[in-house]
Amino acid sequence: MTGQDAEYIVRQGNHGDYMVFQTSSGGPSFYLVVHDHEQLQRFRISVADGKYLFGPRQFESLSQLMQMATTRPLRGSTGDLHLAAPLKGHNHRSASQPGPVCTTKLVTLTSVAPRPRSHPCPVPSW
């Protein structure tokens, strides 16, 4: 599955639906992609010294971070953005791509297409 596949899945969801995925390019980091009124909001989750960094906050685990993110609104394109339902990966791989199909909230990706510099990932504000 590619970064584009993950975004495609979120785009098919409803407002507030989301997916967290990991990228191995550019160091250990994750992205939270949220469906926001027909747009996608991407939030970077960095990992440093075993801590998960999301905006100005640090978390001991990704689960702890997501528990906070699902109970407090993020800043969306039109105001507060409440996370609704996690989306699961679907079988977008071809027969030439070995390995299991991801069926969980967390999707491991080998690369993520770079975003244009004029549109950096928003920083969550809590």
| Cβ pair 57, 123 in contact under 8 A | no
* Span 64-91, pLDDT tens digits: 999 999 999 998 877 899 999 999 874 3
| CATH architecture of the domain with range 3-109 | 2-Layer Sandwich (3.30)
The CA distance from 81 to 30, in Å, is: 19
Q: Is 47 exposed, middle or buried (0-12, 13-18, 19+ CB in 10 A)?
A: middle
Q: Which segment of 8-12, 27-31, 62-66, 84-88 scores lowest on mean pLDDT?
A: 27-31
The overall pTM is greater than 0.75: no
Tens of pLDDT along 31-46? 999 999 889 999 999 9
Domain ranges of the chain: 3-109
Helix (H) or strand (E) holding 39: strand 39-48
In angstroms, how far apart are the furthest CA atoms of the chain? 43
